[in-house]
């Protein structure tokens, strides 16, 4: 958007539910119109990204879960458990059988 001279935002405090947005244009388009156009372009970009992801995942479903490496998990075959199922000295697995004591985000 060549008509935009400056665009920026500021969050006064992370616990306050608002932000300040400043858009300065060269005068050929008002800032609210430029903001609307930018939002529409962003929505279009995200829609394109979503369709690309869906297309790639549909290829994975057609391949039966095999990725580029030919292994069941793709190029890097992994088990469903992110911590693995290897042996442990504790006798109950590296993290124990009770997995109610931690969360992953």
Q: Is the pLDDT of residue 91 over 50?
A: no
- Is 39 inside a domain boundary? yes
**CA nearest neighbour of 20 among 32, 31, 12:** 12
Among candidate residues 1, 60, 11, 6, the one with its CA nearest the CA of residue 34: 1
**pLDDT tens column, 13-27:** 999 999 999 999 999
What CATH number corresponds to the domain at position 19? 3.30.1360.10
Nearest to 5 by CA among 32, 29, 23, 28: 23
In a domain, 21, yes or no: yes
* 42-55 exposure pattern, b = at least 16 Cβ within 10 A, e = fewer: eeeeeeeeeeeeee
Residue pLDDT, tens place only, 51-86: 999 998 888 777 765 554 444 445 555 556 666 555
Residue 15 forms part of a structural domain? yes
In a domain, 71, yes or no: no
Structural domain boundaries, residue 12: 4-61
């Amino acid at each position: 958007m060549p008509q935009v001279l400056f665009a920026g935002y500021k969050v006064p405090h992370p616990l306050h539910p608002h932000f300040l947005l400043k858009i300065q244009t060269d005068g050929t388009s008002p800032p609210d119109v430029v903001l609307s156009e930018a939002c529409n372009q962003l929505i279009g970009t995200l829609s394109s990204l979503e369709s690309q992801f869906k297309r790639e995942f549909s290829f994975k479903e057609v391949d039966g879960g095999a990725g580029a490496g030919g292994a069941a998990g793709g190029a890097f075959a992994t088990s469903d458990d992110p911590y693995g199922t290897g042996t442990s000295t504790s006798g109950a697995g590296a993290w124990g059988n009770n997995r109610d004591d931690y969360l992953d985000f």
